[in-house]
Structure 1
Amino acid sequence: MSFARPARCLFCSFSRAATPVTRIPRRQFHPATALLNEKPKVPDINASKTQAVNTSQPEKKPELKPEDFKEYTEEEKAALAKEYSKAQMDAVAAGEAAIDPKDLADQFNPRQDPLHFRYLDDFSVIEPVIDRHVRNPQSNTDYNWKPKSEEDFAEDLGKYIADMPDEADNIDFMRFLDEVRVTRGKEENELKPHSALVPELFGPGETVDEPRIEEQKSAFERGEKERSRVAEEMSEGHQNLLMTTGYTSSQAQNIRTKVLVSHSVVNQTRLGKIRRQYCLAVAGNQKGLLGIGESKSDEGTDANIQAKARAIRNMQPVPRYENRTVYGDLTGKVGAVELKLMHRPPGFGLRVQYLIWEMCRAAGIRDLSARVNRSRNPMNTVKATYKALMSQRDPEEIARARGKKIVDVRKVYYANQV
């Protein structure tokens, strides 16, 4: 904005009073014209005429009475007997006798509040959106269907035009587009196809009264079928593991396995450095069996699988006192790793480092404390823990060797705390 404009306007005001001249139209500050003094073109309308107030009361529906719930007639029972079996008809009769019509009249009266439903559904029509879909029969399927070509569509259009009335309109052409088929073959295959997404209630030869064919088979036949199916899904290595250990597939799935140590190793040869993957795994059934396994492979996945399989094959029983802790304090040493495992009372828990914790979980030990001295190499820690657990002496064997009773040996082991 220029500072000269206010002065110029001020000078113009003095000169305008002295010599009247024609006023030059100047630019407005707003593009729209002033509408302050203009009257509205549309007169005001009363609000009572513009807003329609609905003062009508909702239609009151008649209330149900106990007399409205009548028993089935003989004709209705005969019609139901064609659809249901005798056992189902007996169940329907028992249900009708157990329910009092007065209760039905009290509980099933339609709502009269403003939020009541505007319809009553008697469930006689299947709604495809909210009801269960009905599977079309498999006979509707046509495996030899083919899509129509342009010549087929032209032929259909020619036939439709030949049969079309003289005074045809757009609706007739829209009807042709709705009714025209796009495939050649069975009409039901296109309009009512057999869908596998809707499950069938009964298989071939099954009814409501007869049990399913699978249930009629003996447990031995079902078990053989399950074992054959599982054997087909298992890999060759898994099958060899089951044959070597004698475990079943369900027992092998319940074994807890964990890879505790995994790192790469390098072997220097005349051809250069050869890098491989090393894995140390632990396995246990959480009921007193524990084993460790080592493996090396070019691929990390293969090394994990081999280590777990060897750990399962190497599982040995671990003595447990009351199936929760060890017999006394144990020590183990592998390399520079020295550790001590100490038995604890019930509810103490596993207060050990993570490697020993995983081994105790696999073996089924719940109360234990440990102390690792000197080096804490993960691989040697696992081996030292396994060596300490396997070095336990069973008190019953000690009692038999000494020729004493088991009570005396327990007092020596637990300092009269038995």
Structure 2
Amino acid sequence: MAMNRDRNDQKNSEYNDKVVAIKRVSKTVKGGRTMRFSALVVVGDGKGKVGVGLGKAGEVPEAIRKGKEAAMKNIVTVAIDENKSIPHDFTGEYGSAVVLMKRAPEGTGIIAGGPARAVVELAGIQNIRTKSLGSNNKTNVVLATLEGLKAIRSPEEIAKRRGKSVEDILG
């Protein structure tokens, strides 16, 4: 049992995590209000893998731990090109949150708002321009960014799917 726990800790150690938002939420019950905390956590390895999780608990550290566990279960792989950007422009949508993502040349850096920045940084993208349109809800902006990154395909994937060469796709 102890060996299994050590293996999980080693697996988790290669992922960095960032707490995007902590909210105090309440539930009204017969005896009054019960306060809890909700934590939105993003985890990523900086090499193309990123995940998002939401944790809720009575104390903040416990909510963060639960959020991190949930994020580890929802890890997706992101396509990154040779200049550490995305292969093509894309718009990610989740609910009423829309995040426009544009590829950028080497040296541009990450131009993104807080919630979207956390996702692209932990995914390992170093050159990108993003603009959050629509809703400003942090949870939905993070999820819209993740949906967009998940949907982006590399030229190799598209060429394989169409049965063509990469040169035919890129022109």
Is the shorter-chain TM-score for this pair beyond 0.5, marking a shared fold? yes
Displacement of 1:309 in angstroms is 2.1
Which secondary structure state, in structure 2, belongs to the residue aligned with residue 365 of structure 1? coil
1:287 to 2:47 alignment: yes
One-letter amino acid of the structure 1 residue matched with residue 16 of structure 2 = R
Residue number in structure 1 paired with 2:167: 407
**Separation in 2 of the partners of 1:401 and 1:296?**
40
Q: Say whether residues 1:374 and 2:134 are aligned partners.
A: yes
* Structure (1 or 2) with the larger CA radius of gyration: 1
| Structure number having the greater strand percentage | 2
Query: What SS does the aligned partner of 2:130 have?
Result: strand
Is 1:332–1:338's contact at 8 Å kept on the other side of the alignment? Answer: yes
Alignment CA distance shift 1:306-1:241 (3 Å): farther
**Correspondences of 1:225-374 after superposition (within 5 Å):** 239=5, 242=8, 249=10, 251-322=11-82, 324-374=84-134
- TM-score normalised by length of structure 1: 0.38
Any conservation in 2 of the 1:323–1:364 contact (CA below 8 Å)? Answer: no
Structure 1 unmatched ranges of 5 or more:
1-230, 233-237, 243-247, 412-418
For 1:8-407, list aligned pairs within 5 A. 239=5, 242=8, 249=10, 251-322=11-82, 324-407=84-167
**For residues 143 and 47 of structure 2, what CA distance do their matches in structure 1 show?**
20
Quote the Cα distance in structure 1 between the aligned partners of 2:156 and 2:137. 35
Question: Residue 354 of structure 1 aligns to which amino acid in structure 2?
Answer: G
In the TM superposition, residue 351 of structure 1 has moved relative to its aligned partner by: 1.0
2:151, 2:5 → 1: CA distance? 32
CA RMSD of the aligned region, Å?
2.2
SS at 1:266 equivalent:
strand
Asked which structure has the greater RCO (Cα within 8 Å, sep 6+), the reply is: 2
Distance in structure 2 (CA, Å) of the matches to 1:352 and 1:323: 18
Q: 3-state DSSP class of the match of 1:287? A: coil
Total equivalences in the alignment: 170
Q: Which runs of 4+ in 1 moved over 6 A?
A: none
Aligned residue number for residue 119 of structure 1: none
| Higher-helix-fraction structure | 1
Q: Is the 8 A contact 1:348 1:367 kept in 2?
A: yes
Does the 8 Å contact 1:334/1:381 carry over to 2? yes
Pair 1:258–1:241, CA change in 2 (3 A): farther
CA 1:241–1:340: 2 relative to 1, 3 Å = farther
Cα distance change on mapping 1:241 and 1:259 into 2, 3 Å:
farther
| Structure 2 counterpart SS, 1:321 | coil
- Cα contact 2:26–2:33 (8 A) shared by 1: yes
Q: Distance in 2 between matches of 1:284 and 1:241?
A: 18
The answer (yes or no) to whether the contact 1:293–1:311 under 8 Å persists in 2 is: yes
Match of 2:106, SS state, is coil
- Distance in structure 2 (CA, Å) of the matches to 1:305 and 1:362: 17
- Where structure 2 has 5 or more consecutive residues not aligned to the other structure, the ranges are none
